[in-house]
Amino acid sequence: MKGPSGGTQWHAEETYKGLIQIALSCLRFGIFANGGAAVALLAFIGKENQTAITISSVKAAMVVFIVGVTLGGLAHLTAYLTQLRLYGESALGDEQRGPWRHNNFLTATIVLGAGSVIAFAVGSLCGVAAIQAAP
């Protein structure tokens, strides 16, 4: 498929722009989902309710949500470092070598971002288990 300029370069550029937006959405999801879940859990146990849910019963869920927010923040940092290295390699002519290669930062971003989403799932399961276990 050829773009307005008549070549496939347009398609590659538009695909790259789309990938950046999707990646940002995934990174934001990890932080907002974990942070929102932690706040919601605190609000739920802080409100006077008819169940005997205590802070200690949902401690594991809170820890996992906090870890998820931390992983999401670190994923944003490594995403920035990936872009910084790509800029250095393309615009400044820096060579890819050693641990400062953009591929290493990209891999770290993917692992940290996936870890943040997994933390949300695990924290949610821990929270549900704590609420269901309440007498």
Q: Which span out of 34-48, 57-71, 93-107 was modeled with the highest average pLDDT?
A: 57-71
The residue to which tokens 């704590």 are assigned: 130
Confidence at residue 34, expressed as pLDDT on a 0 to 100 scale: 93
Confidence at residue 9, expressed as pLDDT on a 0 to 100 scale: 84
Q: With pLDDT > 90 as the criterion, what percentage of the chain qualifies?
A: 42
Helix (H, G, I), strand (E, B) or coil at 2: coil
Which residue type occupies 58? Answer: V
- pLDDT tens, 61-79? 999 999 999 999 999 999 9
Query: 38 vs 48, which has greater pLDDT?
Result: 38
Instruction: Indicate whether 36 pLDDT > 70.
Output: yes
Instruction: Indicate whether 4 pLDDT > 60.
Output: no
Spatial CA neighbour of 30 closest among 1, 61, 73, 63: 73
Token pair listed for 4? 């307005």
Confidence at residue 52, expressed as pLDDT on a 0 to 100 scale: 63
Confidence at residue 45, expressed as pLDDT on a 0 to 100 scale: 80
Query: 64 vs 50, which has greater pLDDT?
Result: 64
CA distance 130 to 135: 10
**pTM, entire model:** 0.80
Token pair listed for 80? 């920035």
